[in-house]
Amino acid sequence: MKLLNKLGFASVKDSTSQSRRKFLRNLAQAGMLLPVASSMLGQRVFANTGYAQRVLFLYYPNGVVPYNWVPQQGPGAISGSQELSFGLGPLSSWHDRMIVLQNMTLDIGSGAGAHYNDMRGILTGNNEISRESASIDHLIAEQLGNEGVLSLGVRTGGRSDIMISKPRGYDSGARPIPNNDPADAAQKLAVGISGGGSGSGGSSADKQAYYEAILNDFDGLAEVTLDSARRDKLTLHENALKRLRDLAGNQVGECSFNTNVMSDPYASSSSQLTPTEWQMFPHLARAQIDNIVGAFSCGLNRVATLQLSKGDENGNLVNYSFDECWQMSQDAISQGIQHSNGSGTVGSITRWYNEFASHSASHRPGDVPHTAQVRWYHSLLAYTLQQLDNSGLLDDTLVVMFSEVGDGSKHGGAAGAVTLAGGAGGALQMGRIINCGDGVNNGQRIYGTHQLFGDVARYMGVTSLPESHWSGGVV
């Protein structure tokens, strides 16, 4: 309160709205609002620092259907909000918050050609790395603090040798299985904020009142004539202050977790899921996204990895006949996308949609079922971006979405498909399409995941990685 008095406020309660608005307007025009707010509240405010403040590695299995995923326009700035391709269609409204990386080489080390080997190598660059080394998500987390990686999954199964994330101290074929139960994950995360907001030193009514006093005037500040750069900075300030306001309370805003969600039934002995269980997959996936956004909001973690099932879906842990994906297959057919296996017709879609629906990405890339499921995974990315935006986190978060195989039926690492999304703290120029290679890589490889993940680490402020192969230079 003394600091407020020095700054020209008699008190938060008795200062007039006009004087407070004038004071804040002057600060905003001078670019000083965020530093002053940070001093008032004794907390660090994350804004456009040039670094992303948190990163989510989001994995989906079996690659993409190349010709239904590749953007219709060529490399360069994304020209608008039209649907880039059927596979990327759900992201059209986020076109200015994403980078599409096509024909990227998936650096997966020896043993390429088997889904399980590819999965183990996708975040390490080598599926048989030493016990003393770690995947890139853990390497980043090690240098950011002691929170570690929030590792969650949806129906990853019970095999530790096909997990994408590897902490130090684990053999490559014996990696920890992520938490596949959203309710259990939420309960464990809630423990981290019990007794007060994380990082806030407990609940503080005074701090919340300060935040509210400032936030109440942002509507007035929006009426001030500012150039676009200052207006964008003002939005970043507002989002940061909202997060800090929530952190000042015990169970405020996004700093709470919904533990009343369905448990994952994948562990049942049945290898063939029932129709009811099919329908649970999208709900489980969104619940895990909500857990991650909640952990980010509360400052519990800055690095998260979500593994959506496993590669080579013959285990049928996911059956893509759930309603949302079924509707997308109908959308594909309406756009002229047909199945290519020669069995059945549009009129008998039920038969071939269920048969091999999980494993058609790398074996039968022309099938409507996989075209639909790839579109669904990108709808989950769109949901992730919306949840981050709703929580005021999107501006300084980076989401990295990827799979373990490329080039359609060859099971190889060429022509991989990777999407970056979010604001990344202003570190990246978003709204771009980048062609990373020739799509075949016959001695002409240009950019690979080693380099990309090196870039991701540096955009998180990590400048020293133990292995030299994280070289960077893609984005």
Q: pLDDT of the chain along its 475 residues, tens only?
A: 433 343 333 444 444 555 555 555 555 555 555 445 444 444 344 444 678 999 999 999 888 877 788 899 999 999 888 899 999 999 999 999 999 999 898 888 776 567 788 889 999 988 888 999 999 999 999 999 878 999 999 988 888 988 999 999 999 999 999 999 898 888 888 776 654 433 334 345 555 665 666 666 665 665 665 666 666 666 766 666 665 565 554 333 345 676 667 766 565 545 567 777 878 889 999 999 999 998 998 888 999 999 998 876 655 678 787 889 888 888 888 888 765 544 434 344 333 333 344 454 445 555 677 788 889 999 999 999 999 998 889 999 999 999 988 765 556 777 889 999 999 999 899 999 999 987 665 555 578 899 999 999 999 999 888 877 888 889 9
Half-sphere exposure of 171 (CA within 13 A, CB side): 4
Q: Are 127 and 98 in contact (CB under 8 A)?
A: no
3-state SS, residue 419: strand
Range 108-115, long-range pairs (CB < 8 A, 24+ positions): 108/404, 108/413, 108/449, 112/411, 112/412, 112/413, 113/411, 113/412, 114/312, 114/411, 115/61, 115/62, 115/162, 115/310, 115/311, 115/312, 115/362, 115/404, 115/405, 115/411
Torsion sign (Cα): 407, 371, 150, 387: positive
Q: Are 148 and 162 in contact (CB under 8 A)?
A: no
3-state SS, residue 400: strand
Q: What is the pLDDT of residue 458?
A: 94
Q: Which ranges of 248-367 does DSSP label H, i.e. alpha helix? A: 275-278, 280-297, 323-334, 349-354
DSSP 56: E
Q: What is the pLDDT of residue 247?
A: 53
Q: Are 420 and 389 in contact (CB under 8 A)?
A: no
Half-sphere exposure of 311 (CA within 13 A, CB side): 27
Q: What is the pLDDT of residue 246?
A: 59
According to DSSP, the β-strands at 76-77 and 54-59 are unpaired
Q: What is the pLDDT of residue 108?
A: 86
3-state SS, residue 433: strand
- Percentages helix, strand, coil for the chain (3-state, rounded to 5) are 40, 10, 50
Q: What is the pTM of this model?
A: 0.77
The dihedral formed by the CA atoms of 365, 323, 80 and 240, expressed in degrees to the nearest 10:
-120
Those residues whose C-beta lies under 8 Å from the C-beta of residue 6, and which sit 6 or more positions away, are none
According to DSSP, the β-strands at 76-77 and 397-402 are unpaired
Q: Are 469 and 447 in contact (CB under 8 A)?
A: no
Residue 381, CA distances (Å) to 242, 289, 376, 378, 418 in order: 23, 9, 9, 5, 12
Print burial letters for 185-196: b (CB count within 10 Å at least 16), e (below 16).
Answer: bbeebbebbeeb
CB atoms within 10 A of CB 168: 13
Q: What is the pLDDT of residue 135?
A: 96
